[in-house]
Structure 1
Amino acid sequence: MRNKLSLAVYLALATPALAEKPMTVWRDPDCGCCDAYVDYLRSENFEVHVIDDRDFVNRSVAAGVPERGMGCHLAEIDGYTLSGLIPADIIRRLLHERPAVTGITLPGMPANAPGMASKKTGSLRIFSFGPDGPAVYSDE
């Protein structure tokens, strides 16, 4: 029993973490928080492809992001649209739950969001959007 447990621990430590689904991020090339957010996502094992796009606002509107709910960049992962500095655990929750929404957004650039702060403090209100309109998705 002890050898099996030792082998299980060894394999868990020796096996690299599985990468998350690939994600594309459209962002303004002059935005430093977007660079920090992409670094954060990569540290959370997301495979991120970055596209410089100074017109991501129009791209966001075309993707269905409510104008009053827009974040500082746009992303796509596994059929969902993401707007803003959404924490990795919320993205994983979205991909696990698979709700019938177009996507989720964290409006603006909250000071305690990934890419803005080194550590999340307080709560972040994240909204879903889609055919049924906007709704609170997470208030963590």
Structure 2
Amino acid sequence: MNLKTTSLLVSGSLLLGATAAQAGLPDEATMYKNPQCGCCNEYARHLEEQGVDVTIVDDAELGEIKQRAGVPHGLGSCHTIGIGEYWIEGHVPMEAITKLFEDQPDIDGIGLAGMPIGTPGMPGPQQEPYEVYSFTDQEDEPFMTLEP
């Protein structure tokens, strides 16, 4: 390999690395939750295991946070997380969060309604598909389905 080819390969690798870093998870998040909710704390620990430093706020008015985030009525969960430019509602598995930050769609965030068994922070094995939705201005659309 000649010097010019080597330089091009190194430059290309650096460019690809920069693109991957931009698409990666942010290193900080803020979780808004009820102070008595233990599963939320487990979800925060899960994010921290992925390298995300989580600040927990357990004295906020969750209804106001969810409305500000654009979470559709009736599709809420026990916690709401601000991470990067997005909101994450509930116990969304990392596969969906990774896709969100890779694709970077023009939405407010993604969510998983309720507290499904087997999701990060919730004990037990996954028993049914997880229907992750995207949302913008209190309107939802399917984002992805995660099969057991």
Band of TM-score, shorter chain: 0.7 to 0.9
Structure 1: 5+ residue stretches without partners: 1-17
Distance change (3 Å), C-alpha of 1:131 and 1:35: closer
Distance change (3 Å), C-alpha of 1:67 and 1:137: same
Distance change (3 Å), C-alpha of 1:131 and 1:51: closer
Deviation at 1:133, TM superposition (A): 2.8
* Identity within the alignment, %: 28
CA distance in structure 2 between the aligned counterparts of 1:97 and 1:57, rounded to whole angstroms:
28
Distance change (3 Å), C-alpha of 1:118 and 1:132: closer
TM-score by length of 1: 0.78
Does 2:117 correspond to 1:111?
Answer: yes
Distance change (3 Å), C-alpha of 1:118 and 1:20: farther
Worse overlay, 24-33 or 126-135: 126-135
User: Which of residues 47, 70, 77 is equivalent to 1:71?
Assistant: 77
RMSD: 2.1
User: Which of residues 100, 123, 128 is equivalent to 2:106?
Assistant: 100
CA distance in structure 1 between the aligned counterparts of 2:59 and 2:130, rounded to whole angstroms:
26
**Corresponding residue of 1:27:** 33
Matches within 5 A, 1:1-140: 20-21=25-26, 22-117=28-123, 119-131=125-137, 133-140=139-146
CA distance in structure 2 between the aligned counterparts of 1:120 and 1:35, rounded to whole angstroms:
20
Q: Deviations over 1:7-66 (max 9, x none)?
A: xxxxxxxxxxx9941111111110010011111111122221111135212211222101
TM-score by length of 2: 0.74
Say which one has the larger Rg. 2
Deviation at 1:122, TM superposition (A): 3.9
Distance change (3 Å), C-alpha of 1:131 and 1:55: closer
Structure 2: 5+ residue stretches without partners: 1-20
